[in-house]
Amino acid sequence: MSEMTNLESYPPLFRNLNGHSHISDDHNQTVGDSLDSDPLPLIDLQLPDSDKLGAACKNWGIFRLVNHGIPPTLTTQLQDSAKRLFSLPFESKQALFNGPVSYFWGTPALTTSGTALRGALNINWLEGLSVFHSQLSQVGFQDPMINAFRLLLEEYGRHQVRIAKILYGAMSKNLNLDSKQSQIFSEPIGYHRIYRYPVSPNPNELSGMEEHTDSSVLTILHQDQIGGLEFFRDNKWLPVKHVPNTLIVNIGDMMQAASDDEYISVKHRVRANKDEERFSICYFEFPADGAVIHSSKYRPFTYPEFSAQVQEDIKTVGYKVGLPRFKLHPNS
């Protein structure tokens, strides 16, 4: 299977707009690669500080993780493998990835799969591959390039499961969750998404990914050196810089609900870039299948119920409403 130029690998709409739209002079810059002046709280996985972790989850909802134990060579190999797959013709990707590993593009944040167009200038300027972690060991591909990607993602995912388990254990202890609530995450569901954000014809009008909160318990992100990820704090958007060999972890809606709103499901977005493509590798951890989340702030619900409501809201009102739909006292 041969690699194609970036434009040939883009979805048709992205190709057309790149070929005919005005290119803005204002564009994102790559961000620094040092921990100096990094605003994010720093958590060391080898020497976790319980108080520092709790403060990061309560006050920020996002933090940078160091000493996480993932070999840098594994991350590089996985990213390079993903880039080769994304460079395939758009039509080939649609045909190849229609099973456990699925291909999507232009879809609203946190939907299951497929494509949702809301107007040429009102879509997420991205494409991606997604798969449940548990399914990676159950599938194989005859094509060696795709199978190599699967094996790398499976190995990478084992590290993500380990990291999520350590973090959730520490958070659960900090929150003094009772045994019933802790069991919600005893057999969590892990989900991988690998994103490519194509070069954008007009980053001022197009979003790489629209602002949202994650529906997960936790999200663990590896981002490349291209800028664009931002989170909302103190009524302004702040950039998340690239720092080699670190991960970004953010709290999701399920953890906010389980913590009685003590922990923050942080709002974030990705800005489009007119000069360079951006790649990221995401791991989302969700509650155990069928587990009920109990909270003093929300009526009891399962993640499937939450997800179904998100999908319904996207169809009817055009965006994810999220946790407010489940509030016991909506005006509180």
Residues 6+ apart with CB under 8 A from 318: 118
**Average pLDDT score, the chain:** 85
At residue 119 the predicted structure's pLDDT band, cuts being 50, 70 and 90, is very low
Mean pLDDT of 178-204: 82
Rounded Cα distance between 296 and 298, Å, is: 6
Query: What does the buried/exposed string (b/e) look like for 178-207 if buried means 16 or more CB atoms within 10 Å of the residue's CB?
Result: eeebbebbeebbbbbbbbbbbbbbbbeebb
In this prediction, residue 28 carries a pLDDT of 42
pLDDT in tens, 225-283: 998 999 999 999 999 999 999 999 999 999 999 999 999 999 999 998 888 999 999 99
pLDDT confidence band for 48 (50 / 70 / 90): confident
List Cα–Cα distances, 276 to 231, 248, 265, 272, in angstroms.
21, 21, 29, 9
Query: Per-residue pLDDT for 224 more than 80?
Result: yes
CA distance 296 to 183: 17
Q: Is the pLDDT of residue 184 over 80?
A: no
pLDDT confidence of 152, banded at 50, 70, 90? very high
Write out pLDDT tens, residues 289-307. Answer: 888 999 999 999 999 999 9
Report d(CA 83, CA 295) in Å as an integer.
42
The two three-digit tokens of residue 45, written as one number: 């996985």
- The token pair that represents 189 in the structure block: 């569901």
* Among candidate residues 277, 173, 150, 286, the one with its CA nearest the CA of residue 220: 286
Q: Which two tokens mark 102? A: 């699925």
Amino acid 19: pLDDT: 54
Q: What is the pLDDT of residues 61-79, one digit of tens each?
A: 999 999 999 999 999 999 9
pLDDT(203) > 80: no
The pLDDT of residue 2 is above 80? no
Q: Is the pLDDT of residue 324 over 80?
A: yes
Q: For the chain, what percent of residues have pLDDT higher than 90?
A: 60
The span from the CA of 41 to the CA of 223, in Å, is 17
Enumerate domains of the chain plus CATH numbers: 6-326 (2.60.120.330)
| 223 band by pLDDT with thresholds 50, 70 and 90 | very high
Q: What integer is the mean pLDDT of 303-329?
A: 92
Q: What is the largest CA-CA distance in the chain?
A: 58
Q: Identify the pLDDT of residue 15.
A: 78
The reported pLDDT for the residue numbered 205 is 72
**Residue tagged active-site, from 64, 150, 193, 278:** 278
* 236 Cβ contact list (under 8 Å, min separation 6): none
Among 7, 190, 154, CA closest to 81? 154
Q: Span 146-168, mean pLDDT?
A: 94
pTM equals 0.89
Is 158 annotated as catalytic? no
